[in-house]
């Protein structure tokens, strides 16, 4: 992947605390706020060079976005292989959780989903190479740096990934309005691969057909469906709720 830049206090802070460290941090000259002091302290702790630059430089790096006087630069952000993603996720907890996104192409939705996924303890993200959102600057910024913490892979064929997860001991559960049961009656206290589909279209028929189960989010309104990032948050935190009930 090409060189990437992120900006804003929270994304840069998360980048410094995450596994994938930036190669350089930029701070606005004369920026002596507590926010700048915290970024500077973290950069020094991890021995990452800090460059003090005029605001014009930050404006250029952020392409007009709200940089809050701080930005960071990466030489490139690499995807991991499917095998690496599943192996890493398996080390996180007794019941590892992997999230597959089927046809979710909107970068900001993807970033928001990644942020929620990190908060919910998702061990890996799996995306289709064709039709899936990319890990780019907008996605990283929207995720508040979560995409720098979660192993992410892109696969040529999502069906192949589903079969691999099954062989690796995961139960694959898709969300579908016509699911046999609700998410509240579905057992998530086991290694789980959750599949979320694109807003409106949902999970593709081919993927839905090979899931071990399909679960629905109960709704009482008339709109018909939730935004995909909101729907993902609902399901992920039902999983968290179940797993905290010992």
Specify whether 70 is located in the same domain as 94.
no
Q: Which residue has the higher pLDDT, 4 or 239?
A: 239
Tell me the pLDDT band of 196, cut-offs 50, 70 and 90.
very high
Same domain for 239 and 194, yes or no, is yes
Q: Grade residue 224 by pLDDT with cuts at 50, 70 and 90.
A: low
Which residues touch 87 (CB under 8 Å, ≥6 apart)?
A: none
Q: Judge if 68 and 110 occupy the same domain.
A: no
- CATH code, domain carrying 153: 3.40.1280.10
**What is the mean pLDDT of the segment spanning 38-54?**
89
Tell me 74's DSSP state: E
Of 43, 74, 105, at which residue does a domain stop?
A: 74
- Looking at the fold, whether 205 and 159 belong to one and the same domain comes out as yes
Do 213 and 107 share a domain, yes or no?
yes
Say whether both 147 and 163 belong to one domain.
yes
pLDDT at residue number 75: 63
Q: Is the pLDDT of residue 55 over 90?
A: no
Mean pLDDT value of segment 17-23: 77
Give residue 1's pLDDT band: very low, low, confident or very high (50, 70, 90): very low
Same domain, yes or no: 19 and 119: no
Residue 42 shares a structural domain with residue 98: no
- Provide the 3-class DSSP secondary structure of residue 233: helix
**Higher-confidence position of 64 and 217:** 217
Please list the helix, strand and coil fractions of the chain in percent, rounded to the nearest 5, in that order. Answer: 40, 20, 40
Helices marked H in the chain: 9-17, 34-45, 55-62, 82-90, 107-119, 137-142, 158-167, 205-208, 228-244
Given a contact cutoff of 8 angstroms between Cβ atoms, the answer to whether 144 and 112 are in contact is no
Most confident of the following: 124-133, 154-163, 224-233: 154-163
- pLDDT grade, residue 63 (50/70/90)? confident
Confidence of residue 221 (pLDDT cuts 50, 70, 90): confident
Domain around 28: 4-74
Give the mean model confidence (pLDDT) for residues 81-95.
Answer: 91
For 148-195, what is each residue's pLDDT tens digit? 889 999 999 999 999 999 999 999 999 988 888 999 999 999 999 999
100's CB contacts (< 8 A; 6+ apart) are: 125, 126, 127, 158, 161, 162, 193, 194, 195, 196
Does residue 146 register a pLDDT over 90? no
- Averaged over 127-138, what is the pLDDT? 83
Give CA–CA dist 38/94, Å, rounded: 34
> Do 187 and 93 have their domain in common?
yes
Phi, psi (rounded to 5 degrees) for 168: -90, 5
């Amino acid at each position: 992947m090409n060189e990437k830049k992120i900006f804003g206090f929270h994304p840069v802070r998360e980048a410094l605390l995450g596994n994938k460290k930036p190669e350089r941090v930029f701070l606005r000259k004369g920026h002596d706020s507590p926010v700048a002091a915290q970024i500077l302290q973290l950069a020094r702790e991890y021995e990452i060079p800090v460059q003090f630059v005029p605001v014009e430089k930050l404006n250029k790096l952020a392409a007009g976005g709200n940089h809050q006087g701080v930005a960071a630069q990466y030489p490139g952000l690499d995807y991991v292989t499917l095998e690496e993603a599943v192996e890493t996720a398996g080390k996180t907890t007794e019941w590892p959780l992997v999230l597959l996104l089927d046809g979710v192409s909107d970068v900001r939705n993807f970033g928001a989903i990644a942020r929620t996924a990190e908060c919910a303890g998702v061990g890996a993200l799996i995306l289709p190479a064709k039709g899936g959102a990319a890990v780019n600057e907008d996605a990283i910024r929207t995720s508040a740096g979560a995409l720098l913490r979660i192993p992410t892979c892109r696969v040529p064929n999502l069906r192949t990934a589903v079969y691999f997860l099954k062989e690796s001991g995961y139960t694959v559960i898709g969300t579908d309005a016509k699911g046999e049961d609700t998410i509240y009656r579905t057992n998530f206290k086991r290694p789980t691969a959750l599949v979320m589909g694109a807003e409106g279209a949902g999970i593709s028929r081919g993927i839905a057909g090979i899931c071990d189960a399909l679960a629905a989010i109960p709704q009482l309104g008339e709109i018909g469906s939730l935004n995909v990032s909101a729907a993902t948050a609902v399901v992920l935190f039902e999983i968290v709720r179940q797993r905290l009930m010992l």
